[in-house]
Structure 1
Amino acid sequence: MSKPPTRPLGKNGPEVTRVGFGLMGLSSYYGKPLPIEEGLHVLDQAYELGERFWDTADVYSGNEELLREWFIRNPKKRQDIFLATKFSLGALPDGTTSRDSSPEYALSACEASLRRLGLSYIDLYYCHRLDGKTPVEETVKAMVQLKDAGKIKYLGLSECSAASLRRAHSIHPISAVQMEYSPFSLEIESSDYKLLETCRDLGIALVAYSPLGRGMMSGALRSVADFEDDDFRKKLPRFSAENFPKNLQLVDSISELAASKGIHSSQLTLAWLLAQGNDIFPIPGTTKVERLKENVDSMFVQLSGKDVAQFREAVEKANIHGERSSDQLTEMLFVDTPLPSI
């Protein structure tokens, strides 16, 4: 088996697997969490397949604890894994989501993640969402404290605005920005946001979460009935009973293109994202080893210029129905922060 390709994560950054592994679904949000042993088996298989760029967060209930157990069983493999986790999001008693990117919270959240993970350091530490109240400069300075203490190695932001990113980068180099990026979510390419443009201007990697449209591009999901009762996608506008069938038109178009190349629609989608630039790192998630293998194999798919253009044409012709997030979560996207007080 060929070793998956790697690329530097940002300017002068570490070499990481070209397609990463989003671990959220192993423990939360997409229905019932996998039993511990099944989750550990998926992690074992990811490692055996050469997938070494793993992504979690403190808000993915039980996910960091699952990783702790894996590292306990595989202590010599810790150095092989480039592990990212995140801070700032939390759940309030009423079910809404809270944000806290204050320096105090950044420091305490990192300590808590390290305890749950059972590790002495985190490779890449993201601010999951800026709270819109704390100047981003203060958040980054706290993250620099963590780096200086040897608790994290690289700094990242998620769903920030271009302006916030520039201000953060002026305090300390930001290695990666994590944003939703898929055929259904191309906002980062927009001249209105200038996020991808800013990343490239500063030499920052773009880590694409939900690159398969939260599973829609797999082609396996055809209606809301395919979700478990506690699957959070049932609450997303794009997956409503009204919008879901309309959005499948794009899925079917991409599936036809993929079939003509003898590959799966998800593989074509990931290969297309990789073709957007060596600074793009998709991190699809799955609970199934078969899908994991497909995602790893996508790194070996070769697309011609014509293939890339045909995919783009299909995306541009599509009329996407429904926003990518609920109203409350939409307020947490492309976040600006106030300027620091003098």
Structure 2
Amino acid sequence: METRALGPFQVGAIGLGCMNLCHAYGEPLSAPDAERLLLAALDMGVTHFDTAALYGFGVSETLVGRALAPHRSRFTLASKCGMDGVTGEDGVKRRVIDGRPEAIRKTCEEALRRLRTDVIDLYYLHRWDRNVPIEDSVGALAELVREGKIRAIGLSEVSADTLRRAHAMHPVAAVQSEYSLWTRNPEIAVLEACRELGAALVAFSPLGRGFLAGAVPDVATAEAFVAKDLRRAMPRFQGAHLASNLRWLADYTALAREAECTPAQLALAWLLHKAPHILPIPGTRTVGHLQENMAAASLRLSEDIVARLEALVNPGTVAGARYNAATQTEIDTEEFSA
């Protein structure tokens, strides 16, 4: 596989997002199946694994550590802090954004234990906590670098302005943001800011949360997803928005056939085509889809196909916001004008 720079590391152009091993979409894998998938990815040459304290409230990190710790020298390990599960007085664990230095340090120590490693290669601030200056959170991450507990710093879902403020405190190796044909927000400012600063743009949900892989064409309503599926609360998968998006999906699938690839491969190849500092991290729960995704690294798209793709799927043709109103307040990424 082609390699690309992820901060100081060279990794395969396509990595593996480890969120949906235990969290977010559909039913989670059993622990043995998740570990088999992780080992299959390693055997296929995946060298970039991305997890977070939030995913399954530590379950994803635990699975990654259990499966991959014996092979630690073979891959670049990324995880995230600043958004975690906190148990309330009612005994229920809930998602909390906390960018205080003491919370970042605590989460890192817990992550190192779960991941069964002495150092995390790339450690992201999962969300900017607006109650804490970005300089304070990045300062805490910089201290972890000095202590040798992490090797490089990343940010997730931040604006170009926040990125520059953070980078002035300590070099930022990567920004992770949702980026795909149907989510183009990084093109407003962050993609170029990353290029200027020498940071990678790590594209999460590069398959449009399964939509661009043809994984949800028969879903008539968001309620068709299982109860804990995040897509139930996302406007693009609801009502008239979903119906509108389904109308261009057939033409998108036809373009994939013309390009002699699958819809998922088309979406990933498009991202790799856009710029050399973009690294997509699709997730999956099957070895078959893993093989399909990794094969996209060898595809080359014609300029004609790219132009027709971008005319078909863009902010003007995709219906619905990517997050609901409550979640939207938690991110700092630039948004297109309504």
| TM-score, normalised via structure 1 length | 0.91
Take 1:175 and 1:125, find their aligned partners in 2: how far apart are those partners? 9
Is the aligned partner of 1:59 residue 2:54?
Answer: yes
Amino acid at match of 1:189: E
| Partner in structure 1 of residue 42 of structure 2 | 47
| Partner in structure 1 of residue 211 of structure 2 | 216
Of the candidates 77, 80, 93, which is equivalent to residue 74 of structure 2? 80
Amino acid at match of 1:70: A
Take 2:10 and 2:151, find their aligned partners in 1: how far apart are those partners? 13
Conserved 8 A contact 1:122-1:152: yes
Deviation at 1:90, TM superposition (A): 2.8
Deviation at 1:105, TM superposition (A): 1.1
Conserved 8 A contact 2:259-2:301: no
| Partner in structure 1 of residue 267 of structure 2 | 269
Take 1:302 and 1:325, find their aligned partners in 2: how far apart are those partners? 31
| Partner in structure 1 of residue 20 of structure 2 | 25
Alpha-carbon RMSD: 1.8
SS in 1 for 2:323: coil
Q: How do 1:221-260 and structure 2 match up within 5 A?
A: 221-222=216-217, 223=219, 224=222, 227-260=225-258
Deviation at 1:317, TM superposition (A): 8.3
| Partner in structure 2 of residue 329 of structure 1 | 327
| Partner in structure 2 of residue 284 of structure 1 | 282
Take 1:316 and 1:139, find their aligned partners in 2: how far apart are those partners? 34
Of the candidates 64, 72, 83, which is equivalent to residue 89 of structure 1? 83
Q: How do 1:140-155 and structure 2 match up within 5 A?
A: 140-155=138-153
Amino acid at match of 2:255: L
Take 2:120 and 2:73, find their aligned partners in 1: how far apart are those partners? 11
| Partner in structure 1 of residue 311 of structure 2 | 313
Conserved 8 A contact 1:159-1:332: no
Take 2:256 and 2:185, find their aligned partners in 1: how far apart are those partners? 24
Shift of the 247–96 alpha-carbon distance from structure 1 to 2, 3 Å rule, reads farther
Conserved 8 A contact 2:176-2:203: yes
Amino acid at match of 1:19: I
| Partner in structure 2 of residue 199 of structure 1 | 194
| Partner in structure 2 of residue 36 of structure 1 | 31
Conserved 8 A contact 2:54-2:95: no
Amino acid at match of 2:185: E
| Partner in structure 2 of residue 138 of structure 1 | 136
Amino acid at match of 1:83: L
Take 1:321 and 1:314, find their aligned partners in 2: how far apart are those partners? 12
Is the aligned partner of 1:174 residue 2:169?
Answer: no
Conserved 8 A contact 1:199-1:206: yes
Amino acid at match of 1:30: Y
Structure 1 vs Structure 2: percent identity of aligned residues? 38
Amino acid at match of 1:56: T
SS in 2 for 1:281: strand
| TM-score, normalised via structure 2 length | 0.92
Conserved 8 A contact 1:24-1:285: yes
Deviation at 1:184, TM superposition (A): 1.4
Conserved 8 A contact 2:182-2:315: no
Take 1:71 and 1:271, find their aligned partners in 2: how far apart are those partners? 27
Deviation at 1:206, TM superposition (A): 0.4
SS in 1 for 2:96: strand
Instruction: Give CA deviations for 1:32-61 in whole Å, capped at 9, x if unaligned.
Output: 221111111111110111111111000101
Shift of the 266–335 alpha-carbon distance from structure 1 to 2, 3 Å rule, reads closer
Deviation at 1:254, TM superposition (A): 1.7
Deviation at 1:316, TM superposition (A): 3.6
Instruction: Give CA deviations for 1:235-264 in whole Å, capped at 9, x if unaligned.
Output: 111111332221123332221111012210
Of the candidates 162, 165, 179, which is equivalent to residue 164 of structure 1? 162
Structure 2 unaligned segments of length 5 or more: list them: none
Deviation at 1:334, TM superposition (A): 1.7
Amino acid at match of 1:159: E
Conserved 8 A contact 2:259-2:305: no
Amino acid at match of 2:237: F
Deviation at 1:282, TM superposition (A): 0.6
Deviation at 1:131, TM superposition (A): 0.6
SS in 2 for 1:38: helix
Deviation at 1:125, TM superposition (A): 0.1
Take 2:250 and 2:77, find their aligned partners in 1: how far apart are those partners? 34
Take 1:54 and 1:114, find their aligned partners in 2: how far apart are those partners? 15
Of the candidates 65, 68, 71, which is equivalent to residue 65 of structure 2? 68
Take 1:149 and 1:214, find their aligned partners in 2: how far apart are those partners? 37
Structure 1 unaligned segments of length 5 or more: list them: 337-342
